[in-house]
Amino acid sequence: MEGPGSRSVAASSGLADCSLVCWTLCSVLLPVLITLWCSFQRSRRQLLIRDIFRKSKHDWHYTDLFGQPSYCCVCAQHILQGAFCSCCGLRVSEGCLKKADQRFLCKEIVMRSGAGAHSSMPHHWIRGNVPLCSCCMVCKQQCGTQPKLCDYRCVWCQYTVHDECMVDHLKTEECRFGEFRDLIIPPYYLSAINHLRKDKRSSYEKVVPYSRKHWMPVIILANTRSGNNMGETLLREFKILLNPVQVFDLSKTAPAKALQLCLLLPCNAVRVLVCGGDGTVGWVLDAIDEMKIKGQELFIPQVAVLPLGTGNDLSNTLGWGAGYAGEVPVEQILRNVMEADGVKLDRWKVQVTNKGYYNLRKPKVFTMNNYFSIGPDALMALNFHAHREKTPSLFSSRIINKAVYFFYGTKDCLVQECKDLNKKVELELDGERIELPNLEGIIVLNIGYWGGGCRLWEGMGDEPYPLARYDDGLLEVVGVHGSFHCAQIQVKLANPVRLGQAHTVRLILKSSKMPMQVDGEPWAQGPCTVTITHKTHALMLYHSGEQTDDDASSTSEPEPAREQTDEDE
């Protein structure tokens, strides 16, 4: 028989087991419940923030870490994370976002209809978070030096003023839009244009600043998917300095639609800055050609390039550099656009007609700005594009892209898939048959640079060769012996096989399938006839400030003429 002592021991051990189970459950469930509650609150906050972003007139973006010391424009507290407006530059903590959205006005794209007809507007001051190293427009001393929300900045002219220097007359003083007044489209101008269009009047000459002599409004077209993915950062910086209506994201707005803004601006005065690779530039130039077809020749803009792609041979040829990685401030980029000179760029029609007695397909037609090629460099581009289509997330860096090109170039040196090209093709320059030596590739050039910075036509520069320009209506045709020969030319250890210059190039692929490319867009092509003829001219902007030592010493592409032609030929 069990005594009372044994029963009490059993009961106490049972209680201990129960308490152990309870504490174990609490230790497991409590963190789970806390995590679920935090996740619910976080998702709720995100929904509220997205709702504010969607309804707001500000262009809010959320960041986990500001790039410089920042203070909330509502509570004036120091903040590490929060929201900022990419148009007016307001910065605010997450908790003060709704108050800031209601209290502060953003940049006005178009002046409010109730404001009446104006040819000027006052400063739009924002307090705090002024740019580093900015100076007060009154006392000329540095602003933003105190570790708190202090000093003012005008969102249009970018002038800054100390708190103690801010007097009443500055709050109502006319804003003259600062250094970039010749590039900015003022809100009151667009408001006046809207009134004229409602009255069905199309003469804008009397609207200020339409008739101002040096006004050259700029339109920014940025491809956020190009090369090193700097497009989004550039979009925000340009929106701060210009009217946001001038800045377009090409992943959301097609070039043809964005360029319709040119119709509201003075004839032959608009400048377009394309932020992207050579493919993006070609996309924009195709949209400009559509404007010509629609009879809008008088509104054709001049095009500058900010190179964000991988090769960037066209931008290099026009003096804008081989690649942009943020080393030049956006303000300097706008200065370069203002100072650039107008030039013409030849554009060519590439027609590919398949062979065969029963071929009923229409010929493929491409527009060429840079170059056409058949052979090893086209094969590298074809392999690169096939790899990028499979895993696009890997190709977000210019360095990685060039490394992949290098890999496929090295592979072709060993395999030589394009050998004996001279036995497979016939080449005619201006109707004259050219006898081909033993080659693996043929490249037809319109510009001085090829393959990411190589001056192919020039080669080593140790032997005479005909002058080459991008506006002379002539194409340069060269041959290469293979990928290794291309690499030698790139480091100036060999010369290309110069086959000649011509106004019209005809290439006949007699047998087999060969890789071809036009401006970096490759494909595999069977027997066909390729005909390259002049199509039109594009009005471009040439920046002489980015010229390298190689450019200065080279005679293959002399400095362009400084005279500007108003109409396309």
Helices of type H across 56-132 = 97-103
User: Last residue of some domain: 339, 357, 376?
Assistant: 339
- Residue 367, Ramachandran bin (φ over 0: left; ψ between -120 and 50: alpha; else beta): beta
pLDDT of residue 557 exceeding 90: no
pLDDT of residue 565 exceeding 80: no
Co-location of 485 and 355 in the same domain: yes
Cα distance between residue 520 and residue 378, in whole Å: 8
The confidence score (pLDDT) of residue 86 equals: 92
261-287 pLDDT tens trace:
999 998 889 999 999 989 899 999 999
Co-location of 417 and 447 in the same domain: yes
Q: Helix, strand or coil for residue 400?
A: helix
Q: Is residue 373 part of a domain?
A: yes
The confidence score (pLDDT) of residue 564 equals: 38
What's the predicted TM-score (pTM) here? 0.84
Q: Is residue 1 part of a domain?
A: no
User: Last residue of some domain: 65, 81, 108?
Assistant: 108
The confidence score (pLDDT) of residue 389 equals: 66
Q: Which of 302, 308, 312 is nearest to 231 (CA)?
A: 308
Could you give the number of structural domains in the chain?
4
Q: Is residue 7 part of a domain?
A: no
Tokens of 403: 């490394």
The confidence score (pLDDT) of residue 245 equals: 95
Query: Above pLDDT 90, what percent of the chain?
Result: 48
Co-location of 366 and 411 in the same domain: yes
Could you tell me which residue, 227 or 534, shows the higher pLDDT? Answer: 534
pLDDT of residue 231 exceeding 70: yes
Q: Is residue 41 part of a domain?
A: no
Q: Which domain holds residue 66?
A: 46-108
What mean pLDDT do residues 124-138 have? 91
Co-location of 213 and 264 in the same domain: yes
Q: Helix, strand or coil for residue 24?
A: helix
> What's the mean per-residue pLDDT of the chain?
84
The confidence score (pLDDT) of residue 566 equals: 37
pLDDT of residue 232 exceeding 60: yes
Q: Is residue 310 part of a domain?
A: yes
The confidence score (pLDDT) of residue 415 equals: 56
The DSSP result for 418-456, as a single string, is TTTGGGTEEEEETTEEE---S-SEEEEESSS-BTTTB-T
What mean pLDDT do residues 395-400 have? 61
202-212 pLDDT tens trace:
677 777 777 67
Cβ–Cβ contacts within 10 Å for residue 281, how many? 30
Contact present, 485 and 443 (Cβ < 8 Å): no
Q: Helix, strand or coil for residue 125?
A: strand
Q: Is residue 166 part of a domain?
A: yes
Q: Which of 323, 219, 233, 328 is nearest to 277 (CA)?
A: 323
467-487 pLDDT tens trace:
889 999 999 999 998 888 888
Co-location of 443 and 313 in the same domain: no
Write the CATH number for 148: 3.30.60.20
The confidence score (pLDDT) of residue 561 equals: 42
Co-location of 502 and 358 in the same domain: yes
Residue with tokens 């090109």: 405
Co-location of 441 and 314 in the same domain: no
Q: Helix, strand or coil for residue 532?
A: strand
What mean pLDDT do residues 41-53 have? 78
283-340 pLDDT tens trace:
999 999 999 989 899 999 999 999 998 778 999 999 999 889 888 999 999 999 999 9
Co-location of 331 and 371 in the same domain: no
pLDDT of residue 163 exceeding 80: yes
415-426 pLDDT tens trace:
567 788 888 999
* Sign (positive or negative) of CA dihedral 421, 409, 223, 214: negative
Q: Is residue 403 part of a domain?
A: yes
Which residues, at least 6 apart from 163, have a Cβ–Cβ distance to it below 8 Å? 150, 151, 152
The DSSP result for 197-239, as a single string, is HHTT----TTSTTTT-TT---EEEEE-TTSTTS-HHHHHHHHH
Co-location of 219 and 125 in the same domain: no
Cα distance between residue 315 and residue 75, in whole Å: 46
Q: Label the pairing between strands 125-127 and 425-429.
A: unpaired
Q: Is residue 567 part of a domain?
A: no
Co-location of 315 and 221 in the same domain: yes
Write the CATH number for 326: 3.40.50
pLDDT of residue 555 exceeding 60: no
Write the CATH number for 394: 2.60.200.40
The confidence score (pLDDT) of residue 409 equals: 55
Cα distance between residue 355 and residue 361, in whole Å: 10
Contact present, 562 and 341 (Cβ < 8 Å): yes
Tokens of 170: 């500055």
What mean pLDDT do residues 420-443 have? 92
Co-location of 325 and 361 in the same domain: no
Co-location of 526 and 445 in the same domain: yes
User: Last residue of some domain: 306, 339, 372?
Assistant: 339
- Beta-strand (E) ranges in 363-418? 364-368, 371-374
